A and B are shown apart, each in its own frame.
Chain A
């Protein structure tokens, strides 16, 4: 997901990417700030508003309490004075009531004393002082039979001496809302209550004040009586007519019921009401009781009124953000477009240069520093390219000439490598060279020194190219010419080395292996001057030929070279190669190596042409398409031997017949007389049995190689095995002088060989036993 978004972004223009990234950052920072501010400030505003609401309600409660307590003080004073009187006396009562009315700052609309009827009087008497509409105080007394009809809010005679407050009601005299406080009293020495003292307080001032109060814009203050009646309410249909409980039922708002009960219990608190059916917005009700009378004040306000500015602020920020983003977009676009247009133009010009069209140049005034750098670089590039192209054109012509010269050099070099492989019964030879791309320094050579001596040479000149090729030609010619003068092979190297050192200022050198084979005897003399040891196949397996290690040619003068000598038998092979074979590389830079070479050779005992081509195929398969870094050169010499025959058989006594047949055939060819044939066969059988039983301890899967040849006046058979060291000549001979009865059974075979053969030679070569047996003809 993120990856695909990234790749999509990478395909957009710089302009777009810049805009998107800047605007995204700016937008995120702004949004974060706004949310942070609003999250932090909302609770602060809420709590501050609550604080103000609480203080407002508390001040109203305080005022109202003063009114109530003041009234109660007056009524208690009046009652206490009244207790002194013995009997009702109208004048005394009038004075008392008037003083109550006048001595107070409170808005008292009337005060009265009601004396209950007793055994002397049938009707009760009401003495009443009241404020008339014109403001004057009037007094009247009247007999009232039924007191409770006159004051319906007054339901029963109090049982104890305690102030009782009425619910608010309308005063008929003044048309104003009032409440009345009353308390029963006893005359002195009386046992029962004799009447009631009452003071009526005008509530209109308070109501006006409460009604007129508004808390900020939407806040309203409500006054509720002890029973939950709305003493004030903005709606005149509710004020003084409906209780909070009635209203809760009517508009189905259980929160009001809850508030009503809280008020009844005289508790202070706050309630949030969020009923979408009744109010448009969430409202908060803050309430507190007036303890003295059991009434309460409620302050109702819409919370959003106070949060609105904050929300407004948010909207304004959003709009500002939007506008600034648009503005930024336009500005970035403007700036980038100028640069990117020029960049695209530069790109176009660059691609034209790439395709070889140099006619266009960038002519505009660069719009930024970066564009300036690029356009300057482009102009320089154009100038240099034109210069280089001109130079290259000259070079190409020269290279063309050189290449054709190099081709000629390679042809000359290749023609120096003979491909005329002699065909005869004595040996088989094949050689190949696969040159690396350049003219290389490998060469092989083979030639007759005389009728019986054949030379094979392989060499590798250090370095590559024309100098290596020239040096190679020189080395090849020198070696061949000197070798043909029939001197000792070590001297050939001595002379060739001195010649090659002459004037060799460039310090080139050549590694050479050369062998001269005496074809009739199978005798090999060789010198190895710093070359990889060749491989020798001795009828069993290929192995590295261990030779004396001489210094390479061309480095130091007057070096004595040491030659080696060894014999080869029929079907033995000598494989010469250069390091281009073993150091052929594949794609993962691994060498072909000796291990792989041996593995290929294990399978093939065919003619040298096929053998070398199989190796080459195997190298090509290994290297795949890796460029060949060095010449690959190989030469294989297989000795057939004019008079030599070879047989390799499993070391099993059952093969005796095979050996006898092989030898008999061979001897018949050489016209060996019967008598000698018998000797040879008998000796051969004894040697074979000895090898099987003693050198191999009768082990299975072992082989024995037998060769037979005529050498001048001798017939020679030789046995090669890979068993443990076993020299039959060193075995204990039985004493033949003892009487037949005391003779031991062993040792007869070896005795026979020694008696029958004219010469027996044993050699331990590497891990092999080689026994040569000669018979005089």
Chain B
């Protein structure tokens, strides 16, 4: 049985790439996320997490990879609209610096 499908909606405006994610970030979907986003000439990477239900460690790893790439390009990465539950995941793994400050 397939896991809950991950949908990625990308909006590129100059150097700003906004990805609207919906669904789960689990071991099946996370590699897809890494593959489907092109960071060429991106200086600011924004993930809109409004419709994300779960972020598992696989998802965390994906964000860590994006963070490392964007750092190499001297850019910045932000996660917005993060639910409290998911925020707790980021917090307890020391990933809170990724999140937008409310």
Contacts and interface: CB of A to CB of B under 8 A. Distances in A.
A232 B57 CA distance: 152
A653 B54 CA distance: 15
Nearest to A737: B94
B71 A741 contact: yes
A543 B77 CA distance: 54
Contacts of B27: 653, 656, 689
A751 to B, nearest CB: 6
Nearest to B86: A678
Contacts of B57: 686, 689, 748-749, 751-752
Contact of B26 (A675, A685, A748, A755): A685
Nearest to A756: B92
A740 B54 contact: no
Contact of A685 (B1, B56, B71, B95): B56
B65 to A, nearest CB: 7
A653 B71 CA distance: 31
Contacts of A745: 61, 64-65
A660 B89 CA distance: 17
A590 interface: no
Contacts of B71: 741
Contacts of A748: 57, 60-61, 93
Given A653-B27, A682-B56, A749-B57, A755 B1 contact: no
A20 interface: no
Interface in A731-777: 736-737, 740-741, 743, 745, 748-749, 751-752, 755-756
Interface in A638-656: 653-656
Given A689-B57, A741-B68, A654 B3 contact: yes
A653 B93 contact: no
A745 B56 CA distance: 13
Interface core residue of A657, A748, A752 (most chain B CB under 10 Å): A748
Main secondary structure of the interface of A (DSSP, over half): helix
Nearest to B63: A740
Contacts of B50: none
Contacts of A658: 1
Contact of A741 (B1, B65, B67, B94): B67
A681 interface: yes
A748 B3 CA distance: 21
Given A745-B61, A749-B57, 13 more contacts: A653-B3, A654-B3, A656-B3, A656-B28, A657-B1, A657-B2, A660-B54, A674-B85, A686-B56, A689-B57, A736-B93, A740-B67, A755-B93
Closest 7 CB pairs of A and B: A736-B94, A749-B57, A748-B57, A755-B92, A678-B85, A657-B3, A685-B56
Interface of B: 1-4, 26-28, 54, 56-58, 60-61, 64-65, 67-68, 71, 85, 89, 92-95, 97-98
7 contacts: A653-B3, A657-B3, A658-B1, A689-B27, A748-B60, A748-B93, A749-B57
